A = this chain, B = another copy of it.
Amino acid sequence: MMETVPARQGRAVRLRAGQAIRIVNTHGSQVVDTWAFNAADPTEAMSMEHLHAFLGSVFPGQGDALVTNRRRPILILEEDTSPGRHDTVIAACDLHRYQSLGCKGYHDNCTDNLHAALSMIGFPCPQVPAPLNLWMNIPINPDGSITWGEPLSRPGDHVILRAVLDCVVVMSTCPQDMIPINGRDCTPVEVQFQILD
């Protein structure tokens, strides 16, 4: 059954080891901030800074294991039909980020979406690890500067993440509409997902 993460929102799902989640970039332009927590211990979570050392790369590719802060795989990036550009160095957006861009008042954001999604399934967790930003296109130049690119993905591209541990996976359809991180029309949209046994 296909389910939806509405635009600008978060959803959390539980996966048993061996199950997988297929996340579909329905419109091709949507960044999805993604986290994974050990279902038995929320202090163990997928960790980008540990992943960099584990992979020897800032760009995970098809077949790569995604590791936790204990340096063991929690998910496998089993399939990726997109050009494979996913960001691992940028924090989830939060209210402070939108305020720094000039937003007055509240703005939906991936950090609050993470907490809301975890609350919905009764798995509260105070920590906010650096996310795997699916389809977020952030080239890193030789001098270390980054470019805020548009996604390279196409409508219908998907990734399959296979659980190695019993875990909770959280997705947030990034509500960024002030810079073209979700495509040049700056319009966050929904994505779909499916649990695979």
Is the CB of A102 closer than 8 A to any CB of chain B?
A: no
- Say yes or no: A89 contacts B56, CB within 8 Å: no
* Contact between chains at B145 and A56 (CB < 8 Å): yes
| Interface bracket on A | 20 to 34
- Cα–Cα distance between A127 and B128 once the two chains are bound (Å): 11
Interfacial chain B residues near A142, Cβ < 8 Å: 139, 142
| CB < 8 Å neighbour of A89 from B89, B91, B94 | B89
C-alpha spacing A86/B91, complex, angstroms? 19
Contact B59 A143 (CB under 8 A): yes
Q: How many copies does the complex hold?
A: 2
Query: Which of B72, B91, B144 is in CB contact (< 8 Å) with A58?
Result: B144
Asked if A192 CB lies within 8 Å of chain B CBs, one says no
A79 / chain B contacts, CB cutoff of 8 Å? none
Assess whether A26 is interfacial by the CB under 8 Å rule: no
Q: Find chain B residues with CB under 8 A from A143 CB.
A: 57, 59
A97 to B127, CA, bound (A): 22
Chain B residue numbers with a CB within 8 Å of A56 are 145-146, 148
Within the complex, the shortest CB–CB distance from A43 to chain B, in Å, comes to 8
B94 touching A57, Cβ below 8 Å? no
> Is B146 a contact partner of A49 (Cβ separation < 8 A)?
no
Say whether A57 contacts B100, CB under 8 Å: no
Q: How far is the CB of A151 from chain B (nearest CB, A)?
A: 16
Please tell me which one of the listed residues B43, B47, B72, B90 contacts residue A91 in the complex, with CB atoms under 8 A apart: B47
Query: What are 19 A-B contacts defined by CB distance under 8 Å?
Result: A47-B91, A49-B91, A50-B91, A52-B89, A52-B146, A53-B90, A53-B91, A53-B97, A56-B145, A56-B146, A56-B148, A57-B144, A58-B140, A58-B144, A59-B143, A70-B96, A71-B96, A71-B97, A142-B142
